[in-house]
Every structure is written in C-alpha cells, then in structure tokens.
Amino acid sequence: MTVRAASAPVNRGQQEGWTGALVGLPALMERTAGIAEVAIALLDGPVAVGHPDLASGNIRVLSGTAACRQLDSVACRHGTLVAGVLHARRDCPVPGICPGCTLLVRPIFGETAAATEVNGLPSATLAEIATAVLEAVDFGAHIINLSVGLSEQGPGSERSVEQAIDVAAQHGILVVAAAGNQGVLGSSVITRHPWVLPVVACHRSGGVMASSNLGASIGRSGLAATGEDIESLAATGGTATFDGTSAAVPLVTGTLALLWSLFPTAGAAQLRLAVAGRVRRRSVTPPILDAGAAYQAMAMYNERT
C-alpha cells in the first residue's frame, strides 16, 4: 500500500483512467449515488469513521465497534480502503461508488500485532466469517462484501460457513467474495459456494493479475474487476492505493448496490443474473464485469414486467 496526500476532487464519471472505467461504472454512477434502503455489510477490518471524506452519516455497526483503535494497523488500513471505494463522499478526491447506500460495518480482523495475517493481509477464521454473515442476515443486509483471506479451515468450520451462506441465499442476500491472491488454481469453501460471486483482480488493461486465484467455480460463477492501483481513503488521512482481489471486490459490490438502488423491487437472483449472465462457462477465468450491460439487462427486464 502506498499513501499519498489528497489531490483535488475529480469527477470519476469523466476520468478516463479511473479504475472503474474498465468495468463500466462511470455511467452507472452518474445515474445514482445509491439509496439508504440498500444496505451493504462490510465484513472486513474496522473503519476510520472519522475520515473527513467518508460518508459516515449512513454507517451503521453490526456488533462491537466500527471505528479503528489503531489507525496504522493493517486491519484498519484495509477496512478503510475497502470502505472508501464503496462509501467515500462523491465530492472528495476519490469519490465512492455508492455513498448514498447504508454501510453496515462488522469488523472480523483484529488490530493487535498478534492478529493473524495471510500474505501480509489481515485474515479471519471460517467460524468468524460464518458468525458475521449470520449477523448481516439478521440486520437486513442486501449485499455482503468479503474482501478476506482465510486463516483456518478446521474440522466442521467449512460446514459452518456453508450453512451461513445458505441462510444468506434463503434471505435473498448477495455475497461477493475475493477469489484470493495466492496465484493458484483452486478455490475455497467460500468461492465454491454456488450463491457466491467470486471476484478476480485484473490490470487496468483487462488482463488478469498473476497473483489472482483462478479455478473452475471461480470461472463458472465469478467476475473480474480492476484490482490494480485502486485509490481510496487512507485511514490516517488523505488517500492511498491498494491492489488485488480485495480491491476488486467492492467494484462488483458497488455495482450491485447501485443497480438495486435504481431497481429497488428487483430480486437478488435477478440482479445476480444481470451482472454475471446466464451463459454456462467452462473457463477458469471469469469475464470482466460490465456495469453498463447489467443496467441494460435490468432496464429491459423492468420494461417487460
């Protein structure tokens, strides 16, 4: 992660090089900033809620505290970066995708020096993730954002997270999860779940990043989104950049939140179909998200009904 001072505000809808341009987000962002009735559960690190560029008025806490205790902790930096992509004010240097939506913060990463990290990034156990997913269901989330690494897969833990995602599916809650950054061919219990939308990271040019995990279930059900040099909010102030599947996930989550804001009566399965398509895929590499095509699919369906 590299941190730099904040620059002058930009209009991401007109910024040709912005990371969201590859996935067609600018036009969708011009239509709406999201509505408070659409709730995104951020299962990640705590968030620097005092950052002046964060739309903190629509932030709610699922359990514990949403605020960082240590602004320089890996967990706080990660949670704030992901939150910023989704929820930064539109008039700040790095406008968020859907600041008008409600952000439900549920920290699952510890801030202490002893907190578990995988490849230098904070991680959580499957049991912790399962508990957090069920809390998101109870709080009425519409979308769950999982930019998370897995630190433990003990006996019975895989079944607990499978069951939690089953409950989310039964309640019509979309689950968007990072494919992982180990550069391997394979999947996890989360990315294998048929209801989950796994997200692969790609370069601004569209090529898949070498560090991004791929696999049959990821290619069949997932999407790719820009994960290179994503600029967001730094926990200590100003802006910072980050890379990988954690950075790509909120682009997909944000797209779904904007679509749900524009089509509030839509069902989760319909939205999932609009962004992921219905074509049966055989490649281990998923297609790149096309937010514009997803909007057109929703608009056409809405006209027919």
Close Cβ partners of 266 (under 8 Å, ≥ 6 residues apart): 259, 260, 298, 301, 302
Q: How far is CA 203 from the centre of its chain?
A: 17
* Pair 169, 197: CB distance under 8 Å: no
Q: How far apart are CA 265 and CA 263, in angstroms?
A: 6
Q: How far apart are CA 270 and CA 204, in angstroms?
A: 28
Q: What is the CATH number of domain 12-304?
A: 3.40.50.200
- Which residues of the chain have a pLDDT value below 50? 1-17, 114
pLDDT of the residue at 187: 86
Residue with tokens 């989950």: 196
Q: How far is CA 163 from the centre of its chain?
A: 21
* Pair 106, 71: CB distance under 8 Å: no
Close Cβ partners of 238 (under 8 Å, ≥ 6 residues apart): 3, 4, 5, 6
Q: How far apart are CA 259 and CA 256, in angstroms?
A: 5
Tens of pLDDT, residues 2-30: 322 222 333 444 343 455 788 999 999 99
pLDDT of the residue at 40: 98
The type of residue at 294 is A
Taken as a whole, the chain contains a residue count of 305
Look at strands 230-233 and 239-242 and give their pairing: antiparallel
Q: How far apart are CA 267 and CA 97, in angstroms?
A: 21
Tens of pLDDT, residues 50-65: 999 999 889 998 877 7
| Ordered alpha helix ranges (H), the chain | 25-31, 74-87, 126-138, 157-170, 216-221, 245-262, 268-276, 291-304
Q: How far apart are CA 221 and CA 74, in angstroms?
A: 30
Q: How far is CA 273 from the centre of its chain?
A: 18
Q: How far apart are CA 21 and CA 15, in angstroms?
A: 8
pLDDT of the residue at 297: 95
- Segments of 88-216 assigned E as strands: 102-107, 117-118, 121-124, 143-146, 149-150, 174-178, 196-202
User: Which two three-digit tokens encode residue 268?
Assistant: 């989760």
Q: How far apart are CA 283 and CA 280, in angstroms?
A: 10
Q: How far apart are CA 281 and CA 186, in angstroms?
A: 16
pLDDT of the residue at 256: 98
